[in-house]
Chain A
Amino acid sequence: MKNLFVSFVVLMIAWLLLNWTLDPINLLIGSGLSIALSFIFCSKCELFTSINLTPKAFLYTFLYLGVFLIELIKANIDVTKRVLSPSLPINPGIVKVKTRLKSKMARLILADSITLTPGTFTLQVEGDTFYIHWINVEHTDVETATKELVSKFEKYLEVLYD
């Protein structure tokens, strides 16, 4: 039931964004299509089982997006500096981090966020262990690297997913 509801909401938002109008006829077609598609493709799927549908989670979605954008801009400036400085001050390496997140979806979002941030890159995922290629290795031990790379996203994702 939750899966159906979330996939309906996602499809409906995509439809509204593409059409950008609130005509009644448009809404009717959109909701009909969204219901049909979520029943066809998501009647047995377990994609969104672990998602939390509370007001707090709704708020934290936007907080997460904000934090992610800020990190993205900070990392972009950092990588720009490294690329443009004549001595090419890079210090690459592959570090190991552990995450507290349990659900698959949350781990997927965490790995994607790490990959999208310039300077860090998820190379391999083994259960709760991520192997991350980092352009400027500051700490090689697991705890400090986890604190440095994962914790800033993790505390928001924990609220969003069980």
Chain B
Amino acid sequence: MEWIKWLGAVMLLMGAFSLLVSAIGLLRMPDVYNRVQTGTKASTLGAIVSFIGVGLYQYENWGDGNWVGRVLVLIIFILLTNPVSSHVLMRAAYFMKVPLTKLTKTDKLKEDINNNIVKEPENE
């Protein structure tokens, strides 16, 4: 059953690589919006693959149970909570008028705010 351990190790490496790429992305991207884009990478594939990798690597302890279930619960909670928090961060940044990068092609939301289709939330 050595190959399960190898599989776990490979998945851990893949997760670490994913986290590394998203850290590089955080440094290289030009504005806050694109930085959050690469940040979601870390939370999705990086974290999920790392968790599964740890679970597989510790296959000797599967006899105690709990491993698979807890890994699944962790993944479910990451998938539930992460998009909410990053959406709120990004939306707050947008309505605080953090500038978009010059590379930006279109901004439909701004057009609709100017045409009074969308209302800006009021400052408190």
Specify which chain A residues have a CB less than 8 angstroms from the CB of B40 in the assembled complex: 115-118, 121
User: Majority SS of interface residues in chain B?
Assistant: helix
CA distance A117 to B37 in the complex (A): 9
B66: A residues at CB distance < 8 A? 18-20
Interface check A66, CB cutoff 8 A: no
Size bracket of the B interface: 35 or more
Binary contact readout A84-110 vs B (1 if CB under 8 angstroms, 0 otherwise): 100010111111100000000000000
Chain A interface, DSSP helix/strand/loop, else mixed = mixed
Interface residues of B in 58-106 (CB under 8 A from A): 65-70, 72-73, 79-80, 82-84, 86-87, 90-91, 94, 100-101, 103-106
Residue of chain A at shortest CB distance from B45: A76
Interface string of A112-126 (1 = CB under 8 A from B): 100111110111101
A73 at the interface (CB under 8 A from B): yes
Query: A137 CA to B108 CA in the complex, in Å?
Result: 12
Cβ B87 vs Cβ A115 within 8 A: yes
* Given A76-B44, A79-B38, A118-B40, also A90-B94 (CB < 8 A): no
Interchain CB contact under 8 A, B38 and A94: no
> Known interface pairs A93-B104, A123-B90. Does A83 touch B45 (Cβ–Cβ under 8 Å)?
no
Write the residues of chain B forming the contact surface with A, with a CB cutoff of 8 angstroms: 18, 21-22, 24-25, 28-31, 33-34, 36-38, 40-41, 43-45, 65-70, 72-73, 79-80, 82-84, 86-87, 90-91, 94, 100-101, 103-110, 112, 117-118
Hey, which chain A residues are within 8 Å of B83, CB to CB? 111-112, 115-116, 122
User: Hey, which chain B residues are within 8 Å of A1, CB to CB?
Assistant: none
Chain A residues closer than 8 Å to B104, beta-carbon distance = 92-94
Report the bound CA distance from A15 to B21 in whole Å: 35
